[in-house]
């Protein structure tokens, strides 16, 4: 099938659409062409520190206009998970202040008391410290279930990486003597379901475009989307054989979507 002829296109953000505060080459033109052809566009990120509105503003600021309903963040999906699947939950948060904002917007009951929490939701936290580790551990040791916003060990930033959610999850798991029961972000089926719901097209008519085999491409493959790896981020052509995760297409950059 011609890569330009799907009904809907999902784009990962970091490494696919942007790096740091810069859009990658060809992104604006590619998205404009998709809109001209009336295709559904959805931007997907595993971020645990951004709401869809945060991402919309960030993209707009870089020169890419889009709607809030064209963006899915793992933090948003976490809120929607609890609201839909665990309406009785009282969630203790280990993460940045924005997590509380998203949970409130999603109608999730948040508790500041580890003793009464039913779940501990863990995200990346650039203000993480020992006291937060103690309190999260205490909640988990009292039976609260550990949920990770995403499974990313690090987050790429210009010049390298910073520790992401999974590093904090591992500290908590170790102290609590337990394991995270659920991971929300890509490549989880829960994230895929939420994306497909928003796309409103059958998966086989959707193309998932991303730079990471083990999150973007794996999730797309698992949920029946077609997939395209772009080489502007983490994974390389050599990784495809090594990791045995096969994308349907390989693109040097998003600019190649209509020039292939």
Through-space distance between the first and last CA atoms of the chain, rounded to whole angstroms: 12
User: What mask, x for binding a copy of itself by CB under 8 A, covers residues 69 to 108?
Assistant: ----------------------------------------
How far is 226 from 210, CA to CA, in rounded Å?
11
Determine the interface stretch with a copy of itself among 14-22, 46-54, 55-63, 165-173 (rule: CB under 8 A): 165-173
Determine if 158 is a binding residue for a copy of itself (CB under 8 A): no
Contact 226, 257 (CB under 8 A): no
For residue 209 the two structure tokens come to 């475009």
Determine if 166 is a binding residue for a copy of itself (CB under 8 A): yes
Catalogue the active-site residues: 12, 14
Q: Which is nearer to a copy of itself, 158 or 160 (CB)?
A: 160
Using CB under 8 A, pick the residue from 110, 167, 198, 250 that binds a copy of itself. Answer: 167
Determine if 130 is a binding residue for a copy of itself (CB under 8 A): yes
Sequence-ordered list of residues with C-beta below 8 angstroms from that of 143, at least 6 positions apart, any chain: none
How far is 119 from 178, CA to CA, in rounded Å?
13
Which string of b and e fits 94-115 if b means at least 16 CB within 10 Å?
bbbebbeebbeebebebbeebe
Which string of b and e fits 13-22 if b means at least 16 CB within 10 Å?
bbbbbbbeee
Determine if 175 is a binding residue for a copy of itself (CB under 8 A): yes
Q: Which is nearer to a copy of itself, 2 or 238 (CB)?
A: 238
Name the minimum Å distance from CB 100 to a copy of itself: 18
Residue ranges in contact with a copy of itself by CB under 8 A: 125-130, 133-134, 137-138, 141, 153-154, 160-164, 166-175, 177
């Amino acid at each position: 099938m011609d890569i330009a002829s799907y009904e809907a296109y999902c784009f990962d953000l970091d490494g696919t659409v942007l790096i740091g505060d810069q859009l990658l080459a060809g992104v604006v033109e590619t998205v404009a062409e998709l809109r001209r052809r009336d295709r559904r566009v959805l931007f997907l990120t595993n971020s645990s520190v951004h709401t869809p509105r945060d991402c919309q503003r960030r993209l707009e600021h870089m020169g890419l206009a889009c709607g809030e309903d064209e963006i899915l963040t793992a933090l948003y999906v976490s809120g929607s998970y609890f609201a839909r699947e665990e309406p009785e939950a009282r969630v203790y948060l280990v993460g940045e202040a924005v997590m509380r904002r998203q949970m409130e917007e999603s109608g999730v009951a948040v508790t500041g008391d580890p003793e009464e929490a039913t779940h501990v939701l863990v995200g990346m936290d650039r203000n993480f410290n020992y006291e937060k580790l103690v309190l999260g551990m205490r909640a988990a040791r009292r039976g609260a279930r550990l949920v990770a916003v995403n499974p990313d060990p690090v987050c790429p930033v210009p010049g390298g990486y910073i520790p992401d959610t999974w590093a904090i999850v591992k500290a908590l798991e170790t102290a609590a003597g337990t394991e995270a029961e659920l991971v929300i972000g890509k490549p989880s089926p829960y994230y895929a379901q939420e994306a497909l719901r928003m796309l409103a097209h059958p998966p086989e008519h959707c193309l998932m475009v991303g730079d990471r085999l083990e999150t973007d491409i794996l999730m797309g493959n698992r949920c029946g989307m077609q997939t395209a790896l772009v080489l502007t981020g983490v994974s390389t052509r050599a990784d495809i054989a090594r990791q045995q995760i096969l994308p349907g297409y390989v693109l040097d950059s998003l600019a190649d979507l209509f020039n292939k």
